[in-house]
Structure 1
Amino acid sequence: MTGTVKKKPVVIGKSKQPRCFKGVKNLPVDYFSNTNAWMTSFIFESYLRKWDSTLDHKIALILDNCTAHPNFSLKNIELVFLPPNTTSLIQPLDQGIIKAFKTFYRSDMRRQIIDAIDDGQGNGNDIAKNMTVLQAIHMSHNAWMKVTTSCIVNCFKKSGMVPITTNEALELDLPDVPVDISGLQIDKETFNEWLDVDKDLPVFQVMNDDEIAAEIVSHKEQGNDVEVHDEDEVEYAEDRVPVTRSEVFNAINTLRRAIEEHDIVISGYSDQNTLGRM
């Protein structure tokens, strides 16, 4: 168990093609949509069948007992369902992986809001409301990249699925709370409440046969080129101007200078050689 195999996050939104996706050809996540932004058995099975077709080795996928997680056979993926009512005890994700992810995600979101306030872009509520699905996707990707392999391994050990030595300490590699939310002094209990503010939101949909059939038909009718807009983003929507090649190189050079002059450390880009190859 190494914790090094990290699939791209799956993000489910309400719109198949939100306005903020205009001009965007690549996303750092696997994006799906339905009217409620919920996981459904159709999305679940579609995702797993596509993943299964890319594998050349066998793996086991540990799953909660959820109506959106149907049991079906695949060539390379074996679905392993946990016993009922045991998720909080033996699901590795619930032993700290989700908490680490949410800590990084919410800290990044808070930092962006504070930076925008400092730049005079408005008050916190308006800035938060104007955040787009695309911004959330990039924050999700960045948060997942920050979850360390040691955190993943330790959560598997904590769940009992990986052996642990008697004297081994389990560390989840969570960021320091006050520092990571731009210096605001918030006690641990309040911060944990903030992390779990959405834990009771519905995230999956129980579908009967007619609803499953209707969703399949809907996906086929929409195709890949139909734009479906999210009402929550209408006011913020604006036309994206394609980035030119010269603008790309200018941005890279600006980033390189910033790292050189201000000793900035950006995960994945602090190495000058990395920037030189871009």
Structure 2
Amino acid sequence: MSGVKRKHVTLSLNEKLAVLQRLDKGESLQQIAKELNVGVTTIKDWRKNRKDIESYTITIDGENALKHRKTLKRAKLELLDNALWMWFCQERRKGTPISGPILKEKAIVLHKKLKAESEFAASEGWIDRWKNRHGVRFVSISGEKLSADNEAAREFCVKFQEIFKENEMLPCQVYNIDETGLNFKMLPTKTLAASNESVTGTKLMKDRITVAPCSNADGTHKLPLFVIGKSKKPRAFKNLNPSSLPVYYRNQKSAWMDCNLFKSWFFDEFVPSVEKNLKEKKLPARAILLLDNAPSHPPEQELVKGDIKALFLPPNVTSLIQPMDQGAIEWLKRRYRRKYISSILEKSEQGFNIFEAMKSLTIKDAIYTIAASWDELKPDTLRKSWRKLWPEVMTETDQTEDQQNNDSQEIVKDLQTLDPNVLASEVEDWITECDKDCDSYEELDDDQILAAVIETDNKETANEDSDCEEDELPTRISHTDAKNAFDIALQYIEQNPTSTPMDILWIKKWRDTAAKSRISCAKQKSITDFFTK
């Protein structure tokens, strides 16, 4: 054996992450060790400490910092360090101008609120070390907060084109998600007044959810909507199998998106769904999720699984080029309102007044209605929403009918049935403005930021019954009642000229399931009665 010692090599965090990704792809550990001139045991240690490495790199901003950082050494004032970083990210994503003095002042304020015993002056040295830890090359952003930045949008479009070409990606591998608030019970004020009921807008404003649609650029893969409500288990969900919901449902006390919820969705829903879709297409598991710079989104480095990664839009351009904001969300909400008004009209025909009809709508009804609306959104509508960012995605046949006008006309027609004095212009104002002040995420203040870094594992839970206090509890349907209902439904479908053989088979399947369950329960009851005699 050679007596020459191997030269000590220390790799950066960026290089260690690259090694871990190569191991994920099945490369030989021994071959990588030989290539990098490090010990096999060293690489095994990296693999063993993978969670620590990945967790630490979440707090590092940019490739430049990862290239130079080699250890996992934490800051002495770690809570302050993390709180200042969270505040900085939130302000940066809003496009707020930040200078060195502003950063120093905020660090001092946060330190005082932490009530730390040690003195702290936020010296230039501390600020420099903080910048180095997080890869912040500069913090001086002169000028006022910018409005929509057309030049930045054009620059990003060029960058975006380069990224997908370099990675040899197809439109089906590029996704976009965006959140929007939905006041799911709101009606035009004039229509409410016509009901002769005393209803305050404040009460109705509480009936809101956050909805986040996500699809790929060619419209061939729409993920189930990400829906956030206030309650973990609303009363309307009683006796409901959660897996039967047509959406990915989570809760937050204000029905807002936050970083923890988004990260859970990314790894639990988005990544597996995308991997499955690309596998079916016989494509590599490589994808990009394009998203805006909202404070509710974790940093890019935290949203990585193999070759499936997130890409942030720069500040101040989302209204100009974010795909979901270019017509898809507007279409989705308009279709929801059309279905919602139809349900109100149906209730009124059953003898309910408008307020009673609104009150009877539960979050479960809203979820199924918005999911049905999403299901009806066509691929060509989704492709058209990418026209500003990626015009090549559109095809020659993408000349969709003006479904929005059709929806508006139907909404006006139904509302005028409820109140003949409603004007079309008032309805259009309601459609476009009713969710205007309905935020989909919360901007954190200093106290909330500190609470988040002090107790990062503390997940807030909402009162399970908080958003449906007055709703009538759903009745559990017996097997006998279900079987009888399916018998009636089967007769109706068989007599309906628009039904298909698959419709009939589907109802027969569930009728037979209910019948078998009824017989099984009857047998079990007979056995129980026999032994209790």
Fold in common (TM above 0.5): yes
Find the counterpart in structure 1 of residue 342 from structure 2: 111
Matched, 1:237 2:472: yes
Question: How has the CA–CA distance of structure 1 residues 200 and 79 changed in structure 2, closer, same or farther, with 3 Å as cutoff?
Answer: same
Q: Once the two structures are superposed, what CA deviation does each residue of 1:105-137 show, in whole Å capped at 9, x if it has no partner? A: 1111111111111101x3112321332111111
Per the alignment, residue 7 of structure 1 pairs with 223
Say whether the 8 Å CA contact 1:11–1:32 is kept in structure 2. Answer: yes
- Any unmatched runs of 5+ in structure 2? 1-170, 172-217, 276-284, 417-421, 511-533
> Residue 14 of structure 1 contacts residue 37 of structure 1 at CA under 8 Å; is this kept in 2?
yes
Q: Which amino acid aligns with 2:470?
A: E
Match status 1:211 vs 2:455: no
- In the superposition, the TM-score normalised over structure 2's length comes to 0.45
User: Which residue in the other structure is 2:304 paired with?
Assistant: 74
Partner of 1:201: 438
Counterpart CA distance in 2 for 1:172 and 1:84 is: 31
Structure 2 residue aligned with 1:125: 355
Please tell me whether Structure 1 or Structure 2 has the larger radius of gyration of its CA atoms: 2
Q: Residue 88 of structure 1: SS of its match in structure 2?
A: helix
CA contact (8 A) 2:271 2:308 kept: no
- 1:263–1:165: structure 2 CA closer, same or farther, 3 Å change rule? closer
Q: 1:85 to 1:25 in 2, by over 3 A?
A: same
Shift of 1:63: 0.5
Cα shift readout 1:12-42 (whole Å, capped 9, x = no counterpart) = 1111111111111132111111211111111
Give the secondary-structure state (helix, strand or coil) at the position aligned to 2:228: strand
Query: 2:477 is matched by which residue type in structure 1?
Result: V
Cα distance in 2 for partners of 1:51, 1:204 equals: 20
Give 2:317's aligned residue: 86
Q: CA deviation at 1:9?
A: 1.0
| Structure 2 counterpart of 1:138, from 344, 368, 374 | 368
Residue 34 in structure 1 maps to residue 268 in structure 2: no
Describe the shift of the 1:257–1:99 C-alpha distance in structure 2 as closer, same or farther (beyond 3 A). Answer: farther
- Compute the displacement of 1:179 (Å): 3.0
Please list the CA deviations of residues 137-173 of structure 1 after superposition, one character each: whole Å capped at 9, or x if unmatched: 1111111111112211222235435444689645564
- My pick for the range that moved more, 42-51 or 204-213, is 204-213
**How many Å apart are 1:67 and its aligned residue?**
0.6
* Distance change (3 Å), C-alpha of 1:182 and 1:166: closer
Query: Does structure 1 residue 254 correspond to structure 2 residue 488?
Result: yes
Q: Please report how far the alpha carbon of residue 229 of structure 1 lies from its aligned counterpart in structure 2 after TM superposition.
A: 1.3
Distance between the aligned counterparts of 2:488 and 2:390, measured in 1?
48
Unaligned residue ranges in structure 1 (runs of 5+): none
Structure 2: which amino acid aligns with 1:62? L
The separation in 1 between residues aligned to 2:226 and 2:453, in whole angstroms, is 20
Contact 1:158 1:170 in 2 (8 A): no
CA offsets, 1:212-233, max 9 Å, x none?
66573235xx6xxx97211x42
From 395, 406, 428, the equivalent of 1:192 is 428
Q: 1:36 to 1:138 in 2, by over 3 A?
A: same
Counting matched residue pairs gives 268
CA distance change for structure 1 residues 130 and 52 in 2, over 3 Å: closer, same or farther?
A: closer
Deviates more, 1:240-249 or 1:16-25: 240-249
Tell me how far apart the structure 1 counterparts of residues 391 and 424 of structure 2 sit (CA, whole Å). 29
Identity of aligned residues (%): 27
Mean Cα displacement is larger for which, 204-213 or 132-141? Answer: 204-213
- Among candidates 43, 52, 59, match of residue 287 of structure 2: 59
Q: Distance in 1 between matches of 2:371 and 2:252?
A: 21
Equivalent position amino acid for 1:45 in 2: K
CA distance in structure 2 between the aligned counterparts of 1:172 and 1:212, rounded to whole angstroms: 48
CA distance in structure 1 between the aligned counterparts of 2:226 and 2:355, rounded to whole angstroms: 27
1:152 alignment partner, SS class:
helix
The 2-side partners of 1:81 and 1:124 are apart by 43
Amino acid at match of 1:261: Q
8 Å CA contact 1:130–1:233 kept in 2: the answer is no
Residue of structure 2 equivalent to 1:177: 408
Conserved 8 A contact 2:341-2:411: no
- Give the whole-Å Cα distance in 2 for the aligned partners of 1:29 and 1:35: 19
Partner of 1:216, secondary structure, is coil
Contact 1:151/1:171 (8 A) holds in 2: no
Taking the aligned partners of 1:87 and 1:272, their CA distance within structure 2 comes to 46
Q: Give the letter aligned to residue 315 of structure 2.
A: P
